Structure 1
Amino acid sequence: MSDFSPGQRWISDGEAELGLGTVLNCDTRSVTILFSASQETRTYNTRQAPLTRVMFGSGDRIQSADGWQMIVDDSQTSNGLITYSGEDSQGQRRELPEAKLADTMQFDQARDRLLTGQVDRNDWFDLRFRTLHHHQRIEQHSALGFAGPRIDLVPHQLYIADEVARRHAPRVLLADEVGLGKTIEAGLILHRLLLTGRAERALILVPDSLTHQWLVELLRRFSLNVTLLDETQSQAHGSANPFESAQLVLASQGWLFANTHRQEQAQASHFDLLIVDEAHHLDWSSEGSGPGYQCVEQLARDIPSLLLLTATPEQMGIESHFARLRLLDPERYHDLARFKDEERHYGEVASAIEALEALPATPDARVHVEAVADDRDSQALLATLCNPEASADQQDAARDQLRDALLDRHGTGRVMFRNSRRHVGGFPERRLHLDALALPSAYRRMQRRLERDDDYLDELLIETGMDHPDVLIYPDAAYRELSNDPLHGEPWWHIDPRVNWLLEKLSDDSDAGFANDKVLVIAHHRDTAEGLAEGLRVLGGYHAPVFHEGLSLVERDRAAAAFADEEDGCQVLVCSEIGSEGRNFQFCRHLVMFDMPQHPDQLEQRIGRLDRIGQRHAIEMHVPTFTGSPGERLMRWYHEGMDAFSAPHGIGSDLFDAFGDALADALLDDEMLDEIITETRELFVAKLAERDAGRNRLLELNACRPVRARQVVEAVRELDDDSALPRYVERALDVFGVDSQEIGNGLLHLQPGQHMLDGLPGLVKGEEGFSATFDRHKALARDDIQRLSWEHPLLREMMGRIIDGTMGNTALALLGHPAIPSGRLMTELVFRTHCPAPTSLHLNRFLPPTAVRVLLDESGANLTDKISFTGLGKNLQKVNKSLARDLIKRHHDALRGLLRQGEGEAERELPSIVEAAEARMRTQLDAELARLAALAEHNPSVRNEELDALKKERQALSDAIENTRLRLDAVRVIITVDPNA
């Protein structure tokens, strides 16, 4: 007789996703089952049917085809069909024949899957429990979001990322000097916000020339897949909003700033974070603003978080700097006059902070601190610091707390972070090499006439169409304009001695030459760069890629890549002035400045392409100048007036504002130039002293607090050195069907196995896979090696599938142990906390999904504390699925009882978990709220909405934690057997 009857409900063991099936007809050989939910019909051999009968017991919740639910308390069987009875949600007694069960009932919970005979592999169960354990640990770790990126552990970068990313809706200006890693800081902040759920969508606006560099950096360093959006891509979406097509959108500023329709679409797309690179180009003045500023201003009103990046925040003047701060907080920065007045008081605060270091040994220093420590808490700390009866530890603690309080409460430190090289340290030496060349006759004739004929400059400006003083500084450009008829003039590079000088340097293998070294050449004009590359090719046979604003993004990337290739790459790259912004060439140590830029900030940007974190050699700066020329005089002003080549000082813009016009007039007059250099030097020295005493020093002190920075670095290193990571990766790769092979030197090669599960990042069936390492330094040394960490996309995908899915939530194993009689039943239950809350709350930092393990024997005895998970696992034996299903059927009633008892045992653990989470939350947020509330009384940069948001967040977290419940996550049935059988 067949066990099947029409109307019975069964599920497929191999295709559980088909849902609940109904027997249509059957005979002695076959059975046909309809899976209505998936509109599939299957016919099986009755002898080998991979099917499990669905039978519910007392306490199970079931749903009818009509939508109502009931809790089963009894059942009766008639003619092979079951009728369930129990109470519905209104407390009414009802009956429900199994034929009328809802077809859409899902058996994804561990209890349902177990009792319907669906069991997974034992190693899957093992991996699930370990995944829960590691996920709980990592989600609470202070380095979450910072440990995965492929970066050096630079303290100031990690400090800024940690300080900014922990804020509600952060809005800051990242203004580190060139080469200190603003892009990395922004990437770290973005990565942390994404991993913690604080942000889900981001819009990144960068100059046209940097879009591909950002795209590659975010992928290579942070494993973030970003969609590069341009007009072609936008039009491909038809009438749909293209900004809705991805979570992370990268777009060029030039494209978006010029297109009001796309701006409106971007505004309507509800981004959480806006990042704007090279923000000093946003044009603003008291008379009006440019399209770029207007676009960012509109977006910043709707987007909660905003990061502005610029290495030269005051390049366009104090008003322009104020305008960028106004984008961050228009309520705080609404009065330019008031802002200028605040700036005048920063020297007092910087002096007070410096004076702290002299206390209590130098009592006279106290007066400087008292001038700004005007609140009760600060005065109490100062009293402790100066109290001779206080211990050294008490005095040190008071000094640190008072320093942090003063830094918090004064200046723009909360909205602006600016580190300087002198503050960070560890940068290479800069060496200036000057080569004086004779003016060629064509240039000399033009200069002599300029020197003796006052009217000739006006004529030259008209004839060439150039501006003053460009026409003086760039004689090759003037020559090109005057001899633009190819029949009446040689190409300028035929007559310019700087070209031959460069060719000689490129072939010179002495210490003074460039032979076998990479050389970056920067010229002001695009035409100069193109002509120079042509001259190098024709006269010397050198292939020199050109990087200028007229190239497409792909062409620029190709030129940069050809230069970067160590083995087959080009020796020299020629850039126009645009090459001094954004691109990083720290693998190169020779910089040729073919001419001089007009603005000191542009000069520093040129040098900053090589002088960056990661540069391992001294920077060799080569400047060919024409003796007695305006270009040489400009170089003298930089060199003698402000030491511009020795180090970045950050005050070049002020000096240019003071002397730029006079300098332009002195480019033909040595006597006048000497006076300007003397005056520039005097102002330079004064400005340095002012900077050291005032706002810049204050910003530097606030931009990296060493104690906190060291704590963040150590937290990252703790995850780097986590010995559990390689063991977990090995288990996970095996379960997911990924082949892993050691290839030496601490490297692994991962490739898809024959039975690999689909959809794993970086692994596609039929393709080679990738090489990886756990070592940060090895990954940094080779771009072709990925670094495996808890934050790597592959690990996050595998852990996510396990935690969010059913994988491994049921299992059955045999336990052979001489001390335990065979035939006994045990259940290993894993419960986990369930706490629905918006991802933006980042509840996991206080209460991530937390596992509670309960081990019961068949008598109900709790063995959890006596037998560990690892110890039990070592003695378990796997069993095939067919036998596992038979054993579960045999112990059905006993398992139901143990499941109910396990729930009670687990519930006893819940109060302590909730209490600990609440305490962690209160400890952190109460302290932060108290700090911000005190800070708001002194520093208007603390926004009211930031305080309100933190209060609401604390309440929402408290409510969520209080409503935490436990649910059964996984269950393993263990049957004891005779080990000698």
Structure 2
Amino acid sequence: MQDFAVGQRWLSETELEQGLGVVTQIDGRMLTLLFPATGEVRHYAKQQAPLARYRLLQDERGQHADGWKFTVTAVQEHQQAYIYQGVREDTDEQVVVPESHLAAQVATQHPLTRILAGKTDRLDMYRLRQRALRYLHDWQQTSVAGLLGARAQLLPHQLYIAHTVADRFQPRLLLADEVGLGKTIEAGMILQRRLMTGRSQRALIMVPDSLCHQWLVELKRRFALSFSLFDSERCSASLEEHDNVFDAEQLILIPQSLIDEQQWLEQLSAADFDLLIVDEAHRVVPETHLFAQLRHLCEQIPSVLLLTATPEQAGLAAHFARLQLLDPDRFYDFDAFVAEQHDYQQLTPLAEVLANVGAEKLLDRLLDHYGTGRLMFRNSRAHVGGFPERHCQTYPLPGSAPAFTEKAQWLTELLKQHKQEKLILICHSALTVQELHDYLRVQHGIHAAVFHEGMSLLERDRAAEFFASPEDGCPILLCSEIGSEGRNFQFAHHLVLFDLPEHPDVLEQRIGRLDRIGQQQPVQIHVPYTPDGRDHYLYQWYEAMDAFSAPNAVGAMLYDTFAEELAPYLTGDYQDELGFEALLSATHERAAELREQIRAGRDRLQELNAFRPLQAQAIMTAIADSERSDILADFMQEFWARFGVDYDELNADSGWLRPTEHMRVSLPGLPDDGMTVTFSRDYALQNEQVEFLSWDHPQVQHALELLTRDSFGATCVALMQNRALPAGAWFVELTFSSQVTAPAELVAHEFYPQQAIRVLLDSQGRDLTARVPAKALDQQLQFVDKKQGRALLQQLRQTLQSHIHAAWQPAEQAQRERIQAASADVQQSMQRAQQRLTELQARNPAVRQSEIEALRERQQLLEQALQQPLLQLDSVRLMVNLPA
């Protein structure tokens, strides 16, 4: 039985959260404890009291009930109570602190406190915690953290831009890739990496009003980023709760029209966003009120990404005005800008030669001279490559029956010819979609998925899933015009144009759903028409401009020129068939002229700067090395099993995840009815309704955080059977966590990720860390039940506390060595980066002095942070050898 005395401090083994209790009364076989931290009183029988005596050792830190802290220099005992002598930290004076005067609050999650209270976790939970520590370290250290989680095919040109831009200090630039090259994906990757590494904390995205919903969906589906939409209605409703409505959220998306309202513009400017993304930037026309409002917003936010596929659509002056939004000091004179651009074109032939022979260093120096190279990235299809061919096949119909009937009958025959393939049909209206769906089902027993604007987002997701499923999906997806927006179906390569749109850009949007990077097959385009009908004339006009065989960058300009002449042939009001032949000839000639103008103006220096294949390949390799999807799947399935989440495998690539009543914690983003998850990027791309889990995903990050910051698996008792050791021999394995505390924007973990420092001591206190590897020791261990584990802890409690205290010295030595290596790395890397930018600035005025100064400041602050690392005891495992 334990000896109790009034004034002693004890921990409750069953209610650790109560803090330190003090013995207030002893009455025969009963005793009373008051827990000052909670005001609770507990009564215990002496013989069975689940209590652990709390004692500080020499050199440990304690806290007085008045709040000040002290370091213990000696421990005495008087009338069964401890008296601590020590040095007060804030005044350096000598103090004497009876244990009854200790603060009631103790670190209840601290491993030492849990050991003293006999709190232990299962062996498998301890092992899971150790894995989480390793995986967190690896994720923090990888150069591609934040680039692993995009639900997108990994394309070198996108990754090169994302990695290059995301790591810059306050990047301000124009993303201007051609249509189909993925500017939205690039912006999302930049955003995600900056948020996950800490370079950005508050992001604002501004998009055309009609694209708000699409952006919200894409950010969630592709990057697992939850943005909040703030339109005028929500802003007005939030005024009563917040002085600045935009302080309510960290990640905000707004419609373009919102900045036209002065009240909201002022609050946006004052909301301390550190990253602004503007989609379809060319829609905000210079010399308008809206452009002036955008300029004001760009002046207030340090990092700005403008997105447009047509940077010079409104002329070179408008392009110059947008560059001024990014760097008004650099782009101050339009005439000088025009002359500079002309001069740079003279470098193109030399750059082409250097690129072709692989002279990367010489090419680097040449491109350094290029003025807008750091402010604008523009890739073309011709430069990137990897796009499929387009093959168009026409089907003249007899015209003896109503057009819908003839086309529907033709469609059933086409489906029979392509039984093993997926077809996507796009037409103008939802009504036609529904009529086709009913016709195929009723007349021919063919089930089709439908996709139109009258459906909810969930219904569209289910339709896409039904169509995409290789096992039990349907052969065709019937889409209204909305089917050519926001969804990519690269796994299909047959496109049926049930009718033809009047505008070339709409036609290009339809074809672009399949004709994208990632398409593995030639795109087969099927066009049925009735001779001399509306679609027949449209087909011939599109053929004249070569709209079916290749991307049509000149279609909008041709439509503006010839739409009026074309109209009578679409309505049947024309007088002269020869006039249509003249229209086709004029369209063909004008298309050739416009394409030549685009080719001549194509900026090869810009393309070479926007995509460097060798550097991009290095990023691809780093991602391949860091993804480790098999390891991630094994870790997360173990995590779910330990925390009461059900995971049922559906197939080789996916599983069903659902919460249970036995969940130990709530998991963010897990619906009550569960969700389907996959660790396979390829499977996620084919099944957009399935959640793609990567090391970047919030679910995974939450698991890592839970296991490395909470107490799960922090204390453990295990048994071993080693005939070479005497029965009763024991060892204690301690893991210390070492990290540096610094502002998030310094991204200190790139140089010093959270470290796990292992120390192994035997029962005599001898350090065996270097002699006994963790893996070899772990293989000898087996589970022990909690009751037996608690008994062992109680028996060895005082000796264990002394050993844990002694283990700090080797841990501190290991930390010093790692800190020295990290400091050398910071100095070398940051000085190299500063030298690179300084040399670059001498040749290219686009390099801002603030970038160089930011590097110097980062180096200085990192070096200061590394001088004060934080070492904490993370976990403790006691291992006792059983008799043979």
Instruction: Name the TM-score, length of structure 1 as normaliser.
Output: 0.78
Give the Cα–Cα distance (whole angstroms) in 2 for the partners of residues 558 and 122 of structure 1: 45
Match of 1:315 in 2: 313
1:544–1:21 Cα change, 3 Å: closer
RMSD: 3.9
Does residue 59 of structure 1 match 2:19? no
Give the Cα–Cα distance (whole angstroms) in 2 for the partners of residues 344 and 820 of structure 1: 81
Does residue 608 of structure 1 match 2:606? no
Residue by residue, what CA displacement relative to the aligned partner does 1:169-205 show, whole Å, maximum 9, x if unpaired? Answer: 2222222222222222222112211221111222222
Give the Cα–Cα distance (whole angstroms) in 2 for the partners of residues 860 and 704 of structure 1: 58
Larger radius of gyration: 1
**1:392-411 superposed matches below 5 A:** 399-411=359-371
Does residue 756 of structure 1 match 2:759? no
1:173–1:839 Cα change, 3 Å: same
Match of 1:429 in 2: 389
Give the Cα–Cα distance (whole angstroms) in 1 for the partners of residues 450 and 838 of structure 2: 56
- Give the 3-state SS of the residue equivalent to 2:836 in structure 1: helix
Does residue 164 of structure 1 match 2:154? no
- Give the 3-state SS of the residue equivalent to 1:219 in structure 2: helix
Deviation of the 1:36 alpha carbon: 2.7
Match of 2:575 in 1: none
Deviation of the 1:868 alpha carbon: 0.9
1:778–1:661 Cα change, 3 Å: closer
- Give the 3-state SS of the residue equivalent to 1:406 in structure 2: helix
Deviation of the 1:763 alpha carbon: 4.4
Q: Please list every run of 5 or more consecutive structure 1 residues that lacks an aligned counterpart in the other structure.
A: 360-395, 441-495, 523-528
Counterpart of 1:404, as a letter, is D
Residue by residue, what CA displacement relative to the aligned partner does 1:446-485 show, whole Å, maximum 9, x if unpaired? Answer: xxxxxxxxxxxxxxxxxxxxxxxxxxxxxxxxxxxxxxxx
Deviation of the 1:683 alpha carbon: 2.8
Match of 2:855 in 1: 950
- Give the 3-state SS of the residue equivalent to 1:648 in structure 2: coil
Residues 199 and 273 in structure 1, CA contact (< 8 A), matched pair in contact too: yes
1:253–1:357 Cα change, 3 Å: closer
Does residue 245 of structure 1 match 2:248? yes
Give the Cα–Cα distance (whole angstroms) in 1 for the partners of residues 300 and 60 of structure 2: 48
- Give the 3-state SS of the residue equivalent to 1:412 in structure 2: helix
**1:554-633 superposed matches below 5 A:** 565-566=466-467, 572-575=478-481, 582=486, 584=488, 587=492, 589-591=495-497, 594-597=500-503, 604-615=508-519, 616=521, 618-620=523-525, 622=527
- Give the 3-state SS of the residue equivalent to 1:148 in structure 2: coil
**1:321-470 superposed matches below 5 A:** 321-356=319-354, 399-432=359-392
Deviates more, 1:195-204 or 1:671-680: 671-680
Match of 2:272 in 1: 270
Residue by residue, what CA displacement relative to the aligned partner does 1:929-950 show, whole Å, maximum 9, x if unpaired? Answer: 2222222222222222222212
Residue by residue, what CA displacement relative to the aligned partner does 1:362-405 show, whole Å, maximum 9, x if unpaired? Answer: xxxxxxxxxxxxxxxxxxxxxxxxxxxxxxxxxx5xx1111122
1:358–1:88 Cα change, 3 Å: closer
Does residue 856 of structure 1 match 2:761? yes
- Give the 3-state SS of the residue equivalent to 1:402 in structure 2: helix
- Give the 3-state SS of the residue equivalent to 1:937 in structure 2: helix
Match of 2:288 in 1: 289
- Give the 3-state SS of the residue equivalent to 2:735 in structure 1: strand
Deviation of the 1:867 alpha carbon: 0.7
Counterpart of 2:703, as a letter, is M
Residues 430 and 621 in structure 1, CA contact (< 8 A), matched pair in contact too: no
Give the Cα–Cα distance (whole angstroms) in 1 for the partners of residues 340 and 540 of structure 2: 35
- Give the 3-state SS of the residue equivalent to 2:718 in structure 1: strand
Counterpart of 2:512, as a letter, is G
Give the Cα–Cα distance (whole angstroms) in 2 for the partners of residues 738 and 560 of structure 1: 25
Residue by residue, what CA displacement relative to the aligned partner does 1:110-138 show, whole Å, maximum 9, x if unpaired? Answer: 34443454443333333333322222122
Match of 1:733 in 2: 640
Give the Cα–Cα distance (whole angstroms) in 2 for the partners of residues 792 and 245 of structure 1: 23
The match for 2:301 among 300, 303, 328 is: 303
Give the Cα–Cα distance (whole angstroms) in 1 for the partners of residues 859 and 137 of structure 2: 21
Counterpart of 1:37, as a letter, is A
Residues 563 and 570 in structure 1, CA contact (< 8 A), matched pair in contact too: no
Match of 1:50 in 2: 50
1:643–1:409 Cα change, 3 Å: farther
Give the Cα–Cα distance (whole angstroms) in 2 for the partners of residues 498 and 925 of structure 1: 69
1:715–1:259 Cα change, 3 Å: same
- Give the 3-state SS of the residue equivalent to 1:647 in structure 2: coil
Residues 122 and 812 in structure 1, CA contact (< 8 A), matched pair in contact too: yes
1:595–1:122 Cα change, 3 Å: closer
Counterpart of 1:289, as a letter, is T
Match of 2:576 in 1: none
**Number of aligned residues:** 857
Give the Cα–Cα distance (whole angstroms) in 1 for the partners of residues 505 and 373 of structure 2: 23
Give the Cα–Cα distance (whole angstroms) in 2 for the partners of residues 120 and 560 of structure 1: 42
Deviation of the 1:517 alpha carbon: 4.1
Give the Cα–Cα distance (whole angstroms) in 2 for the partners of residues 539 and 774 of structure 1: 39
Deviation of the 1:154 alpha carbon: 1.8
1:329–1:356 Cα change, 3 Å: same
Residues 178 and 612 in structure 1, CA contact (< 8 A), matched pair in contact too: no
1:429–1:18 Cα change, 3 Å: same
Deviation of the 1:748 alpha carbon: 4.0
Determine what percentage of the aligned residue pairs are the same residue: 38
Match of 1:811 in 2: 716
**1:137-286 superposed matches below 5 A:** 137-239=138-240, 240=242, 241-254=244-257, 256-284=258-286
Give the Cα–Cα distance (whole angstroms) in 2 for the partners of residues 938 and 570 of structure 1: 56
Residues 13 and 117 in structure 2, CA contact (< 8 A), matched pair in contact too: no
Match of 1:377 in 2: none
Residues 544 and 574 in structure 1, CA contact (< 8 A), matched pair in contact too: no
1:569–1:663 Cα change, 3 Å: closer
1:530–1:319 Cα change, 3 Å: farther
Deviation of the 1:410 alpha carbon: 0.9
Match of 1:705 in 2: 612
Deviation of the 1:140 alpha carbon: 1.0
Give the Cα–Cα distance (whole angstroms) in 1 for the partners of residues 111 and 438 of structure 2: 75
Counterpart of 1:11, as a letter, is L
Counterpart of 2:688, as a letter, is D
Give the Cα–Cα distance (whole angstroms) in 2 for the partners of residues 761 and 83 of structure 1: 47
Residues 591 and 619 in structure 1, CA contact (< 8 A), matched pair in contact too: no
Deviation of the 1:889 alpha carbon: 4.8
Residue by residue, what CA displacement relative to the aligned partner does 1:543-598 show, whole Å, maximum 9, x if unpaired? Answer: 998967xx8xx7688678757852579954333xx87665546556223563432x
- Give the 3-state SS of the residue equivalent to 2:754 in structure 1: coil
Residues 412 and 941 in structure 1, CA contact (< 8 A), matched pair in contact too: yes
Q: Please list every run of 5 or more consecutive structure 2 residues that lacks an aligned counterpart in the other structure.
A: 468-472, 569-578
Residues 178 and 605 in structure 1, CA contact (< 8 A), matched pair in contact too: no
Residues 379 and 607 in structure 2, CA contact (< 8 A), matched pair in contact too: yes
1:404–1:98 Cα change, 3 Å: same
1:785–1:583 Cα change, 3 Å: closer
Deviation of the 1:952 alpha carbon: 1.4
The match for 2:840 among 935, 943, 968 is: 935
- Give the 3-state SS of the residue equivalent to 1:853 in structure 2: strand
Give the Cα–Cα distance (whole angstroms) in 1 for the partners of residues 757 and 462 of structure 2: 53
Match of 1:915 in 2: 820
Match of 1:136 in 2: 137
- Give the 3-state SS of the residue equivalent to 1:271 in structure 2: coil
Give the Cα–Cα distance (whole angstroms) in 1 for the partners of residues 683 and 501 of structure 2: 39
Give the Cα–Cα distance (whole angstroms) in 2 for the partners of residues 746 and 797 of structure 1: 22
Residue by residue, what CA displacement relative to the aligned partner does 1:517-558 show, whole Å, maximum 9, x if unpaired? Answer: 432124xxxxxx58877998999999998967xx8xx76886
